[in-house]
């Protein structure tokens, strides 16, 4: 059910501070709540109908998984913890704590875990990338941190982190003259460039760098 909350700063207005009580502080925010007012998801992807639908589907799945996990299903407990991290209910440190006693993860679960770890790094680096106005130097710097995830197979799970991740890695690869990694980045950036003109511009620049490396 759609609920609209407006913070007004009108004194003594009931629930005016609700967003802050829910531990959010930016506008607009999109949260999925249960009937008790508990947060089921913090929507961080773009504010589009398609992205909202995906979040709501994940919430539905998390509700189903909760029932399974309550029955003692180990796999369901792992999947639930991973999904709750994806939905912003718990952070990576909490996730690690929950997963620790649950033993070895399956291949898909491990992939998602590494993706969530990469998400956290990208999300920490994004303010720096923005402050540096996506300069090649800054991107190469953050790319070094992304490379640590890449080496372990960590590709961000969140769609919103893909462009920063692959751009960072690409500039890092260009600096190291690592043509194999640069090729992979160019490939991953292609569909992103098709819908983002800024990424398109940077990708074209990287493709020229790649060509220059070929000629050397």
Give the whole-angstrom CA distance, residue 210 versus residue 179: 7
Query: Of the two residues 30 and 134, which places its CB atom closer to another protein in the complex?
Result: 30
Give the whole-angstrom CA distance, residue 74 versus residue 81: 11
Query: Of the two residues 28 and 101, which places its CB atom closer to another protein in the complex?
Result: 28
Task: Provide the minimum distance between the beta carbon of 46 and another protein in the complex, in angstroms, as a whole number.
Answer: 14
Give the other-Cβ count within 10 Å of 35's Cβ.
6
* Sole binder of another protein in the list 2, 50, 71, 127 (CB under 8 A): 2
Give the whole-angstrom CA distance, residue 165 versus residue 103: 29
126-139 as b/e: b if 16+ CB within 10 A: eeebeeeebebebb
Q: Is the previous residue joined to 28 through a cis bond, with omega within 30 degrees of 0?
A: yes
Does the protein bind another protein through residue 127 (CB under 8 A)? no
Query: Of the two residues 27 and 137, which places its CB atom closer to another protein in the complex?
Result: 27
- List the interface residues with another protein, window 16-75 (CB under 8 A): 18-19, 24, 27-37, 40, 52, 56, 59
Map residues 131-150 to x or -, x wherever contact with another protein holds by CB under 8 A. --------------------
Task: Provide the minimum distance between the beta carbon of 189 and another protein in the complex, in angstroms, as a whole number.
Answer: 32
For 198-201, the CB contacts below 8 A with 24+ separation are 198/134, 199/163, 199/167
Positions that interact with another protein (CB under 8 A): 1-11, 14-15, 18-19, 24, 27-37, 40, 52, 56, 59
């Amino acid at each position: 059910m759609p609920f609209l909350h407006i913070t007004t700063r009108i004194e003594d207005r009931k629930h005016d501070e609700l967003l802050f009580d829910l531990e959010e502080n930016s506008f607009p925010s999109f949260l999925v709540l249960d009937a008790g007012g508990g947060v089921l998801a913090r929507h961080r992807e773009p504010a589009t109908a398609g992205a909202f639908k995906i979040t709501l589907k994940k919430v539905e799945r998390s509700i189903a998984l909760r029932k399974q996990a309550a029955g003692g299903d180990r796999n369901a407990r792992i999947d639930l913890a991973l999904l709750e991290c994806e939905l912003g209910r718990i952070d990576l440190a909490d996730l690690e704590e929950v997963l620790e006693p649950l033993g070895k993860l399956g291949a898909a679960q491990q992939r998602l875990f590494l993706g969530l770890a990469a998400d956290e790094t990208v999300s920490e680096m994004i303010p720096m990338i923005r402050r540096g106005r996506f300069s090649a130097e800054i991107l190469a710097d953050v790319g070094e941190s992304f490379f640590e995830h890449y080496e372990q197979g960590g590709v961000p799970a969140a769609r919103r982190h893909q462009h920063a991740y692959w751009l960072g890695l690409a500039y890092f690869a260009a600096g190291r003259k690592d043509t194999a990694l640069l090729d992979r980045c160019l490939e991953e950036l292609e569909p992103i460039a098709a819908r983002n003109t800024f990424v398109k511009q940077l990708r074209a620049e990287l493709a020229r760098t790649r060509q220059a490396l070929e000629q050397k």
